[in-house]
Amino acid sequence: LCVKGSGWDMAVIEPQGLPAVKMGALLKARALDKLSDEDMVALQRSNLIDPSSPNPSVETLLHAFLPHKFVDHTHSTAILAIVDQENSKPLIKAVFGDRLGYVPYIKPGFDLAKVAAEVFDADPSVEGLILDKHGIFTFGDDAKQAYDRMIHYVNVAEEYVAR
């Protein structure tokens, strides 16, 4: 699994800013009931293919726990304009319908990864996940599908916000 490394700006990221992490141990972590932030970082660092790589994103486990080969995640301004509203769940449903799973706000890390994976497991037909007060994940069988879904849902959000 290749994910954004901590400290890298996606606008200027280079290959070394995308640390590769061995998936096996990450997937086994899903069976755990608890994992502290410190232990999560240690797990991710101990499974880096190149130990000199930067720390993988705090959302690495969320990417790993989703069964798709390609997973995109953004904090789009238009998406945030919707998910950052008070009592946003009904608004999210009205704007996006049933094609995106809803994940309540949970601090990024192990607990968020587990809940997001459970939301997906409850309805594997969804094209992405809306994380309340956080952002959006889309996924697909190939990079284009994941990207096209992201662009679609960001456009939906932009159109809603522009009204």
CATH number at residue 80: 3.40.225.10
12 and 85, same domain (yes or no): no
DSSP letter string, 7-58:
T--GGG--GGGS-BB-HHHHHHHTT-S---HHHHHHHHHHTBSSTTSPPBPT
- Write out pLDDT tens, residues 7-54: 888 889 999 999 999 999 999 999 999 999 999 999 999 999 999 999
> Residue 100 — φ and ψ, nearest 5°?
-120, 135
Phi-psi region of 134 (alpha: psi -120 to 50; beta: other; left: phi over 0): alpha
Q: In the chain, how many domains are there?
A: 2
Determine the structural domain holding residue 116 and report its residue range. Answer: 67-163
Which residue has tokens 């449903």? 93
pTM of the model: 0.93
